[in-house]
Amino acid sequence: MTVLEAIKLRRSVRAYSPRPIPDDLMQRMRDALRYAPSACNIQPWQFVFVTDPTPRRDLARTAKEQMWMADAPVTIVACGYPKLAYPRMGGRHSSLDIDIAIALDHLTLAAVAEGLGTCWIGAFSEADAKAILHVPEDVRVVAMMPLGYPASDGLIHPVTEAQRKPEVEVFVLERFQS
């Protein structure tokens, strides 16, 4: 599968099979995260791999009770270290969100290529998620992502043109018209 095919096949999978993920495949998923670039190569992150069913359910509860999350065999919780991340734009803007998004995006595309599903989870109680995983005070939970086989093959089909804005709305040639 080419990169562009993976891009077009990637879906937010919200129904998972409990089928375990083989060890060699999990290794490739870890590589996808770990080889990601970050500003100044600081890698200001840690990724918690949660496989115990109880904290997976607890984490799903913090995310607006999206309990389907807990059906995936792994919940990946992306944690970031704000004090380590590169201060972009003269320090007015941290690279933390961007760095972690790059790593997780790598994972989403590598997962598609292996028949696995993921879903970006950005709406959750960070305080509750931190309590569940004993996350240190100065560490942020930036996003969560279930990882597993989709519950059925029918969940995976390419993104359609109708699901995205047309080119004319997305791309600007040379400069904005003032």
Q: How far is the CB of 19 from a second copy (least distance, A)?
A: 20
Q: How far is the CB of 154 from a second copy (least distance, A)?
A: 19
Binding residue (CB under 8 A) for a second copy from 50, 70, 145, 151? 50
For tokens 């375990």, the residue is 20
Query: Kind of pairing, strands 45-50 and 74-80?
Result: antiparallel
Question: Phi/psi at 55 (nearest 5 deg)?
Answer: -65, -30
Q: Say if residue 167 is exposed, middle or buried (CB neighbours under 10 Å; 0-12, 13-18, 19+).
A: exposed
Sites for a second copy among residues 8-27 (CB under 8 A): 8, 10, 12
With CB under 8 A, what is the number of residues at the site for a second copy?
A: 76
Binding residue (CB under 8 A) for a second copy from 33, 69, 70, 151? 33
Distance CA(33)–CA(45), nearest Å, equals: 10
Q: Which residues in 12-167 belong to E strands, given as ranges?
A: 45-50, 74-80, 87, 93-94, 117-118, 140-148
Binding residue (CB under 8 A) for a second copy from 49, 53, 67, 83? 49
Distance CA(146)–CA(49), nearest Å, equals: 10
Strand partners, 45: 80
Sites for a second copy among residues 114-173 (CB under 8 A): 120, 122-126, 132-136, 142-143, 159, 163-165, 167, 169-173
Q: How far is the CB of 21 from a second copy (least distance, A)?
A: 15
Binding residue (CB under 8 A) for a second copy from 14, 57, 86, 155? 86
Q: How far is the CB of 98 from a second copy (least distance, A)?
A: 4
